[in-house]
Chains A and B, each alone.
Chain A
Amino acid sequence: MTEPVDRVVLVTGGAKGQGRNHALAFARQGARVGVMDICRQFPGSAPMATEEDLATTQKLLGEAGADSFALVGDTRSSADMRRFVDTAVERWGRVDVFVANAGVASFGPVVEMTDPMWDDVVSTNLDGVATSIRAVIPTMVAQRSGRIIATSSSVAREGGPNNANYAASKWGVIGFVKSVAIELAPLGITVNAFSPMSVSTDMCHNEATYKLFRPDLADPQEDDVRETFAGLNPMHVPWLELEDATAGVLYLASEGARYVTGAALDVAGGWNAYHGA
């Protein structure tokens, strides 16, 4: 099956990391691509994108030959998400693929968790994903077609010590996705979660994450954490490269996945083989 070349694809959290890579991959398939990012740093969260990052994504989309737009917006705001979808519909008349990718992380045990650590992570990763998807559904229902992909995580299949905020949010994404998948299945619209292990992005490579994995070291560096990360999965890979993650998302958006819905696709070096469900 060949991919349609002129699809309209929207990606949240598209200023850098996985979101940018997904956006560029769709662009190289010939898609028209809109990206949104909040372009602002939450205190205590792993490094987030800037407006310069978002501008760079749009420049790269242009270099890939794509018609594109980039907006600053907050996935937790229904108004912002309607603006994102409306912009695509005004320009291109439709939305074929929606990737609800925007996510943040911060770490600590529940007993020490600050209000922003819980609120920012859960409101972005769960409420924000739901708000985003709720905004695009009416357009896809009117089209009677569409692909919705929400970024979840391997941690959404187990408990995450020092990571309860993130784990809760990513578990919630799967419940939401499965429910919406049932609602939209009669229209041929697919709704899936993508569950990667750590991906080689800023969310993985930063001081707080390194210290979570090597609390025994004062100033852990990449080489110090590689083994600890790799120990999480039987393939013993420390983290996915961006193209490994994007391949999963492209599959869920592909013609060949037209009957795949309500799934949580693990791309995790077999980490998921340890999970009961």
Chain B
Amino acid sequence: MSEFESKVVMIAGGARGIGRAIATSLAGAGAQIVLVDAPAPMQTLGYPLPDADALESAVAEIRAAGGTCTGYELDVRDRPRVAETVQRCIAEAGRIDMLVNCAGVGSVSDAGEMDDLTWSEVVDTNLNGFYNLVRAVTAHMTARGSGNIVAVVGDSARRGAAGLSHVSAAGWATIGLAKSLALETADAGVAVNVLSLGPVDTELSSSAEFRSAVADLRHVVHGQDAIEAMGRRHPNCEPWVPMEDVVRAARFLLGGGTSMTGSVLDVSAGLSALNSS
């Protein structure tokens, strides 16, 4: 029997991209998946966010493959609604065993030219959204004496990244929050870890601006040039971290207990070799 058999796994940002891939994998391993997604539209991202139809089709696809899945429309920035949705999920599914936060957004702007909304749409989603989720779910997990929380962040959470100061700040802060929460909950059997990823080929990383920024360029290059620049940036010479490697790492983190908590697992095409530890 799989370690995920019958586990209730809430995946925020699960309608597409990384969240959806993790959901599909865990559903195939017998988990009961709860997808939350379809935030209010944002103005500064330059790409569309998944809507209710996208969420519905993700749920339908997992069910069609024989998996168990429900979906809730939720913007993780809406703290009361997050609390309400978590309670509703606990009432309907009986519990939440695991929480995976993939609800992250990105944009590119130098700090000196950044407007307030560009800052706040990223920080409110990536940092405060994760806080809203853990604030809502942690007491349930500690009361049950078990639980596993994984926050997914981009590699700019591990270093400075020009053009991405808001994404980087939110990512670093997410790690600080995860480590703090890990210290508060380890004795109650709850593990909290961070999965830090190099670029993954999703909607978030579809713009030439974003690709150029993660390639550490200070000018924008397009098309194949951007992808080749990303490959040159990475010690393993690959532009992308393959989704299957992301899923494998997420499953590793989710499958463990508190022996591994407060950790950051870097799956970053070799960029972690540049980390100070």
Contact = CB atoms under 8 A, between A and B. Distances in A.
Given A127-B119, A159-B182, A170 B160 contact: no
A176 interface: yes
Given A126-B123, A159-B180, A179 B173 contact: no
Interface string A59-90: 00000000000000000001000000000000
Nearest to A155: B176
Task: Tell me which of B128, B170, B171, B176 has the highest count of chain A C-beta atoms within 10 A of its own C-beta.
Answer: B176
B271 interface: no
Contacts of B131: 110, 118, 122, 168
Interface residues of B, number: 49
B262 to A, nearest CB: 6
A74 B140 CA distance: 36
A118 to B, nearest CB: 6
B277 interface: yes
Interface string A161-186: 11110011111111111111111101
A277 B172 contact: no
Contacts of A118: 128, 131, 135
Interface in B110-128: 110-112, 114, 116, 119-120, 123, 127-128
Given A159-B182, A164-B177, A130 B165 contact: yes
A160 B180 contact: yes
A190 B128 CA distance: 29
Contacts of B139: 111
Given A110-B181, A183-B110, A178 B176 contact: no
B183 interface: yes
Given A158-B179, A159-B179, A138 B111 contact: no
Contact of A130 (B169, B183, B262): B169
A137 interface: yes
Interface string A131-157: 101100110010000000000000110
A167 B277 contact: no
A262 interface: yes
Interface in B231-271: 262
Given A110-B135, A134-B111, A134-B112, 15 more contacts: A78-B116, A110-B138, A122-B127, A137-B112, A141-B112, A156-B176, A167-B177, A173-B172, A175-B169, A176-B169, A178-B161, A179-B111, A276-B277, A277-B275, A277-B277
Interface of A: 78, 109-111, 113, 115, 118, 122, 126-127, 130-131, 133-134, 137-138, 141, 155-156, 158-164, 167-184, 186, 262, 276-277
Top 6 A-B pairs, shortest CB-CB distance: A178-B160, A171-B176, A175-B172, A159-B179, A172-B173, A137-B112
Interface of B: 79, 110-112, 114, 116, 119-120, 123, 127-128, 131, 134-135, 138-139, 142, 156-157, 159-166, 168-184, 218, 262, 275-277
